[in-house]
Amino acid sequence: MSEQQDTPPRVGIVLVSHSKEVADSVARLAVGLAAGRDSAPVEGAGGTPDGGLGTSAELISAAAHKVDSGAGVAILVDLGSAVLTVKVLLAEGDELPENAQLVDAPLVEGAIAAVVASAGGADLEEVAAAAEEAYHFRKV
């Protein structure tokens, strides 16, 4: 009997920002602090396809499908219109993976908590809860 070499599917994380640089930087930070190359699948979906500021349904959808391994996709966002874009995608029902979920969490702290939880094997509900718990991280 051979030993299983593959890691089990992990919850994917999509970080939506109005800025490509912000989304990609937060993704790198979360992966670097969480587990490096053994991390959960994480993608930034920032800005518009032409590199401008804003949100893009197409970029969000592509990122969600890229990180989807069957364990779920947690989507964290920065500002209001990003929330609306993701809600529209979820309502349409066919643009995002079936198991995608908008998570009510701060982008930076939530991303780090989500990636750590997913890298540790947490399911989608646990990943979302870890990210949401980041609202309670006191700084003073």
What DSSP designation does 98 have? Answer: T
Torsion angle, alpha carbons of 60, 64, 66, 67, to 10: 140
Find all residues with CB under 8 Å of 67, minimum gap 6, and list them.
12, 13, 14, 41, 42, 43, 73
**Is 18 a residue of the active site?**
yes
Q: Which of 12, 14, 17, 18 is catalytic?
A: 18
Residue 63: DSSP 8-state: H
The residues that are catalytic are 18
